[in-house]
Structure 1
Amino acid sequence: MGLRVFVLAGEPSGDRLGAALMRGLKTLAPDVFFEGVGGSLMQAEGLRSQFPMEELSVMGIAEVLPKYFDLKRRIQETADAVVAMQPDVMITIDSPDFSLRVAKLVKDASDIRTVHYVAPSVWAWRPGRATKMAKVIDHVLALLPFEPPYMEAAGMECDFVGHPVVAEPKASEAEIGTFRAAFDLGDAPVLLALPGSRRSEVERLADVFGAALAQFKAKHPDHRIVVPSASHVAPMVREALANWPADSLVLDPADHAPAEFAAHKRAAFATADLALAASGTVSLELAAAGTPMVIAYRFNWLTWQIMKRMALIDTVTLVNLVSETRVVPECLGPDCTAETIAARLDQVLMSPETQQDAMRLTMERVGEGGDAPGLRAARAVLARLP
């Protein structure tokens, strides 16, 4: 019988990680069999998701509360499915509030080996999470090079496997030319707007992004605003753009074949001279493209009050953290206002070179130039199986 793997992801970034890991496992163990929960990318690799992954894409303490009973039911259903399958390994990917509850139920009922992909940011806040996690997780796959010591100190095995952004293809000059022609951009400067991949993020950020971009456009009317969107939030983004500068355009996956959309998105990142983005892994995508950025995020009031009291770091942007600099401006919580964002965009536009060294160093440190992270992750999983 071949390798049996239960794999669980809860949001788009986890879906990308899971798909790359599945490809790696299929390369190293061709007879592998998968069950679990995931999005379209993992399903394309052979997973039949037990329920829509989007049900789990919830962020923030206050945001989770209204969906508590639905999430609790899915936690039990998922754990029951793992125990029924009796896989060689269960791999949970990010989404720790869901994943680790599933892992606890699985460990309570079995001795199934558990792997968690993406180390919790215990270096940022709630350091006790590592110790708690070690009760239900055997092995951690870390995206950032400074994370393994934190996990090992708590009693878990841990391997740095690199960040998947380093394996993404870069836009060619031909792709950039095709993109500009397709959207009638000419030689206009481009500003990327990235208000998030979750519905809750778009709801929270669309208005303030639009107002900030209107102020920016008043001073820099030649800039075109391009909004690459995830498919499940694209309708919301289109609706929000009714109140954005009139010539803003959305890149919607529904309008293009998958390969064409991917090429347009790569080209948009590569050709932009500036980006405004929600906090998250998108900062690494921008760094890979060499696109200077401003990071902004609004939190629910309760979530912000709790986070600011528990934070152990003074920045949330991965480029700042990995490069050990603070060159990427942030507009977080009460500072996430149109006026502040517009001012920061102006500053970066005037001195974009200040971020270039930090972005290059970041990419080197997260694994650029080595094996693909999905393959490294698969190799780490297989190497530590009993």
Structure 2
Amino acid sequence: MRVFLVAGEPSGDRLGGALMEGLKTLVPGVQFDGVGGPLMQEQGLVSRFPMSELSVMGLVEVLPKFFHLKRRISETAQAVLDTKPDVLITIDSPDFSLRVAKIVKAGSHIRTVHYVAPSVWAWRPGRADKMAKVIDHVLALLPFEPPYMERAGMECDFVGHPVASEPIATPQDISVFRQTFDLGDAPILLALPGSRKGEIERLAPCFGEALQLFLAERPDFRVVVPTVGPATDLINSIVPNWPGNALVLDPRKVSASQATAHKRAAFGAADLALAASGTVSLELAAQNTPMVIAYKLNWLTQKMAERMVKLDTVTLVNLVSDTRAVPECLLDDCQPDKIASALKHVSENPTEQYDAMSVTMERLGRGGEAPGLRAARAVLERMRA
């Protein structure tokens, strides 16, 4: 069996790696091709070009790279058509992925699967109908998503999220982490301003000012900044201006497995987190780490989003648990004083989030079959049907 996969950012790389591991378990000898990051490469993928080239978000951010991305879309689609895999699996990054799938569908009968349902329940509901023209099967991360996809004419399976089955940091892991990085017994505040260059540049100055305000009242906190390889140089250029003697966890200095272990231990050790909106909220919930979510967009992208977004929350923990336990400072509210106030509230009332985080993990499949294996099984069963 030959599988062509395309992932465009670190969260997609995690999904892809887990899916590939599941496919290898169910189909010994399966062959992989495509585009992915370090976790997918650990499972045997030789990426056709660096995945980081695709990690762009927002209309204004995409424009300068438009022609390069368009070329990569054509190259990737042609590679699929030339190699004729049994299935094309695109993972998130819909602006890139679905354009590749469109070209592939126009030139072949190759089966197409998209992993991560678009958030049509939040904005642009018409996307599902357009997607159904080029995608046969959707793997959904959230339990309420299949009806939206099926209504548009696609097969869809809820497969859970790999974060729900990933290991939890043990007390020993946390102790070793603190010793390794000389953190002592200080309470830890994670700062996570994103993984893409554009969002880091937008959020990092605001995060730094918010930390300054918060740490003025809580100077005992130590700031720790986990990051991903392509973003590390940018983070290292910004963080020296932050308070809290910030520690950057550089994944390039250790193996991929060790970098993952350091990040997991950091999340488990943390008493509090300030994070960009995205999958990271689920990673924090998996480690039971109370959080504040903050995010803002480029001005033009923000104005478009304000017209299209239909929900009063964007944080996945809030959505999956059907609560509003995680405070958000979004768009115009992404201001240092508001963020600092939210951090203070959560630091003083951390237990408010614990039930919501527990419910989130349960609903995403904790305790059941590993989502990567579940996703692999869904792909294979639908292909045989």
- CA deviation digits over 1:64-86, x for unaligned, max 9? 11111111111111111111111
Matched residues in 1 for 2:40 and 2:182: separation?
34
Alignment of 1:83-94 (within 5 A): 83-94=81-92
Q: Secondary structure at the match of 2:46?
A: coil
Matched residues in 2 for 1:151 and 1:110: separation?
23
- CA deviation digits over 1:67-113, x for unaligned, max 9? 11111111111111111111111100000000101111111111111
Q: Are 2:225 and 2:249, in contact at CA under 8 Å, matched by a contact in 1?
A: yes
Name the counterpart of 1:13.
11
2:355 paired residue among 354, 357, 369: 357
- CA deviation digits over 1:355-383, x for unaligned, max 9? 11111000000110111111000000000
Q: Are 2:77 and 2:103, in contact at CA under 8 Å, matched by a contact in 1?
A: yes
| Higher mean C-alpha displacement, 250-259 vs 89-98 | 250-259
1:307 paired residue among 305, 328, 348: 305
Matched residues in 2 for 1:350 and 1:313: separation?
28
- CA deviation digits over 1:119-140, x for unaligned, max 9? 0000000000000000000000
Matched residues in 2 for 1:87 and 1:314: separation?
41
Matched residues in 2 for 1:322 and 1:190: separation?
26
Name the counterpart of 2:42.
44
- Partner letter of residue 158 of structure 1? C
Matched residues in 2 for 1:258 and 1:98: separation?
26
Name the counterpart of 2:213.
215
Alignment of 1:1-386 (within 5 A): 3-386=1-384
TM-score by length of 2: 0.98
Q: Offset of 1:34 from its aligned partner?
A: 1.2
Q: Offset of 1:300 from its aligned partner?
A: 0.3
Q: Which runs of 5+ in 2 are unaligned?
A: none
Q: Offset of 1:181 from its aligned partner?
A: 1.3
Matched residues in 2 for 1:178 and 1:367: separation?
29
- Partner letter of residue 122 of structure 1? V
- Partner letter of residue 327 of structure 2? P
- CA deviation digits over 1:276-312, x for unaligned, max 9? 0000000001111111100001200011111111111
Matched residues in 2 for 1:313 and 1:292: separation?
22
Q: Offset of 1:38 from its aligned partner?
A: 0.9
- Partner letter of residue 379 of structure 1? R
Q: Offset of 1:262 from its aligned partner?
A: 2.4
Q: What's the RMSD between the two structures over aligned residues?
A: 1.0
Q: Secondary structure at the match of 2:195?
A: coil
- Partner letter of residue 334 of structure 2? C
Q: Offset of 1:246 from its aligned partner?
A: 5.0
Q: Are 2:215 and 2:244, in contact at CA under 8 Å, matched by a contact in 1?
A: no
Matched residues in 2 for 1:345 and 1:46: separation?
41
Q: Offset of 1:258 from its aligned partner?
A: 3.3
| Higher mean C-alpha displacement, 247-256 vs 130-139 | 247-256
Matched residues in 1 for 2:264 and 2:108: separation?
44
Q: Secondary structure at the match of 1:92?
A: strand
Identity %: 68
Matched residues in 2 for 1:264 and 1:110: separation?
44
Count of equivalent residues: 384
Q: Offset of 1:199 from its aligned partner?
A: 1.4
